[in-house]
Chains A and B, each alone.
Chain A
Amino acid sequence: MIVLKRIGMWFGLPAILIAIWWATTAQGVNFFVPKPDKMASTFAKVWYSEKFFTDVLPSIGRLSISLLISLVLGVVLGIAIGLSRNLRWLLEPLLEFVRAVPSTILIPVLLLLIGINDTMKVAVIVLGCLWPILLNTVEGVRSLDEVLKNTARVYGLRGFDRIRYLVLPGASPLIMAGIRHSLAVGLILLVVSEMFASTDGIGYSIINFQNRVAIPEMWSGIVLLGIIGVLLSVAFQAIQKRVLGWYYGLKEASNDG
């Protein structure tokens, strides 16, 4: 009974929405919205083909590499800036400015400087994803507990040991929050850079379908982006649960007390 209810909760509303969608498009009057069955078959036809290798995989590859670069750069620089007061003073106004630049606007410049290739897209995504991770890492390092820092000093945690056993884990809740933000920004930048200047990728495909007024195909691309978004967020949550297990336990414990 409970299981039934839960299934109802999960699939009830989506089912109703799809039913409404079906009912309103059954006559085929709306030019912009395809019928659900047409949409499903188009989706399979478009993406379950070699397009998966020529467009989907390159997009995913760009996104993953960019996120990885942003993560490494962001955490390393963030720790350095967070630990050194002078470095922070030196870079704070500059960083404040650079991160305020809405990253999509850089696409035309990078296009000129680098050309239409993967490096340009990776550069765009990194320039957008780096800041949330970097700034959150700085914040995380700075908000380390004073008593804990003293404890680490008393027990002689220095240099790399200090970073590995104190700074990184202590900053990890905020670093993870930064990564979550970066994922969303990264997907936006991937799609926009592919739409603006590319010869392959999901963003390129969608804009190409629009130019050919292939409406169901265009929709199938939007749905694909949604699926990738969902998968990213599920994967992220699984990782976060592992990495921050202690943090949730700690919060729960201090809420009870």
Chain B
Amino acid sequence: MTANKSDVRLSVQQLRKVYGVGSRNEVEAVRSLTFDLHAGEFACLVGPSGSGKTTLLKCIAGLLEPTSGEVVLDGRRVAGPAEGMAVVFQEYSRSLFPWLSVEDNVELPLKTSGVPKAERKERVSEALEAVSLSHATKSYPWQLSGGMQQRVAIARAVASNPSVLLMDEPFAAVDAQTRGELEDLVRDVWKRLNMTILFVTHDIDESVYLAERVLVLSSSPTIIQADLHIDLPDVRSQADTRSLHRFGELRHQVYEEVQFAKINPGGERTAAREELRS
């Protein structure tokens, strides 16, 4: 992490989140989290289930107030949902407005932030084209399949032209084949539009396939347990990339970290392990 300070898009500093402060059953969900995300980076956060992934993402998105520490986006401290941050949620059917058509859903954030009408139309149709949904603009979300609904959510996020795109297990609820297509779609959008993406998932294969960088979270209370660079070729495809030898190695490495994470709440044993390794 020696990169130029100016090219840091998102900076998370000593983030801590405790639920039920002041009550008898305080729960420490996130202990201390620090990482930077650079412009154009595609990073995955992986962790075992119950590792506070969603809590973390909500804190970053400004939907939850951290107990201490802070999130900085483009040099501005995040207090409440920030402009320049877009989120794609896992529950696609609940995150789209069922009373608006596909194009109105994509257009709404632009409309309320005061983008002029002509530009709005252009950006909406561009975004819908990027996710290959130009044919279904007038449909209602609930008339579409799950995968298509999630594409609408992605288009909406892309259209608002965010500094950082957060994705919270976006493909956890779609079937395996659709999932592969959507993964390629996200990588395609990321490259074409030169976006910065933070992608949360519990799926190890997915994280390795998608990202340039994988951050492994410990189980709750969460810390970052490992920060791995994924040195796979830039052009990836479901069939070829996944059968690369290097893919297997990386997956193995992430897998071991995740296994270890399960028995390592709060990173207490990380230091001990480092010693063992050396």
Contacts and interface: CB of A to CB of B under 8 A. Distances in A.
A101 interface: no
B95 A148 contact: yes
A250 B81 contact: no
A151 interface: yes
A250 to B, nearest CB: 5
Interface string B57-72: 0100111000000000
B95 A155 contact: no
A165 B108 contact: yes
A146 B83 CA distance: 20
Contacts of A253: 142-143
B89 interface: yes
Contact of A156 (B63, B98, B113, B142): B113
Contacts of A246: 98-99, 140, 142
Highest count of chain B CB atoms <10 Å: which of A151, A247, A253:
A151
B94 A250 contact: no
Contact of B63 (A150, A158, A169): A150
Contacts of A154: 61-63, 81, 85-87
A247 B81 contact: no
Given A153-B81, A154-B63, A169-B97, A147 B89 contact: yes
Contacts of B95: 147-148, 150-151
A157 B58 CA distance: 17
B112 interface: yes
Interface residues of B, number: 29
Interface in A162-186: 165-166, 169-170, 172
B95 to A, nearest CB: 5
A96 interface: no
A253 B145 CA distance: 10
A161 interface: yes
A158 B113 CA distance: 10
Interface residues of A, number: 24
Contact of B97 (A148, A249, A254): A148
B142 A254 contact: yes
Contacts of B100: 165
Nearest to B64: A150
B91 interface: yes
A71 to B, nearest CB: 19
Nearest to A145: B94
A249 B108 contact: no
Contact of A151 (B87, B112, B142): B87
Interface in A199-230: none
Interface string A136-151: 0000000001111011
Interface in B143-164: 143, 156, 160
A182 to B, nearest CB: 22
A7 to B, nearest CB: 35
A250 B101 CA distance: 12
A156 B143 contact: no
B180 interface: no
Highest count of chain A CB atoms <10 Å: which of B81, B86, B96:
B81
A172 B87 CA distance: 26
Interface string B71-108: 00000000011010111010101111111100000001
* A-B pairs with lowest CB-CB distance, top 6: A155-B109, A147-B94, A253-B142, A169-B99, A246-B99, A161-B112
Interface of A: 145-148, 150-151, 153-158, 161, 165-166, 169-170, 172, 246-247, 249-250, 253-254
29 contacts: A145-B94, A146-B94, A147-B89, A148-B95, A150-B95, A151-B89, A151-B95, A153-B63, A154-B62, A155-B86, A155-B112, A155-B156, A155-B160, A156-B83, A156-B113, A157-B108, A157-B109, A158-B112, A161-B112, A165-B100, A165-B112, A169-B97, A172-B99, A246-B140, A246-B142, A247-B98, A247-B99, A253-B142, A254-B93
Given A145-B94, A146-B94, A155-B86, 20 more contacts: A147-B95, A148-B95, A150-B63, A153-B63, A154-B63, A155-B108, A155-B109, A155-B160, A156-B109, A157-B112, A161-B112, A165-B112, A172-B99, A246-B142, A247-B98, A247-B99, A249-B142, A250-B140, A250-B142, A253-B142
